[in-house]
Amino acid sequence: MTDTILPYRTVTIDRRGYGRRYTWLPVDQLSRQGFSIDFAGSYLRPDMLDLRLEDIVRWREGERLLEGRIREIQREPQAIHAVLDDVHVLPADAFYS
């Protein structure tokens, strides 16, 4: 039996005029097109996350820091899917924590 180690993917969500919503929010799938979170077996549900259109999403892709905006959100009973828009690489000296 071999153990497969899956990468631990997280995003940070900021909202203009409000500030940081989530830091290191775990996601199951992440790409420059969007992200998904699977809530199966969790006490959390998709409607418990306060994600909104135009929220700013940041994450690391190797050594690069990327940023995009939520363009579309789809909530299912056991999952949430966010489509991203305007994804771009931030400069190396960008502040991000």
Is 30 contained in some domain? no
CA dihedral 66, 88, 57, 4 (to 10 degrees): -40
The one-digit pLDDT tens for each residue of the chain (97 residues) are 566 766 789 999 999 999 999 999 999 999 999 999 999 999 999 999 999 999 999 999 988 999 999 999 999 999 999 999 999 999 988 766 5
Q: Specify the number of domains making up the chain.
A: 1
CB 72 within 8 A of CB 83: yes
Question: What range does the domain containing 40 cover?
Answer: 36-92
Is 17 contained in some domain? no
Residue identified by tokens 């690069």 is 64
CB 57 within 8 A of CB 12: yes
Question: What are 44's two structure tokens?
Answer: 């959390």
Residue 61's identity, in one-letter code, is E
Is 61 contained in some domain? yes
Is 22 contained in some domain? no
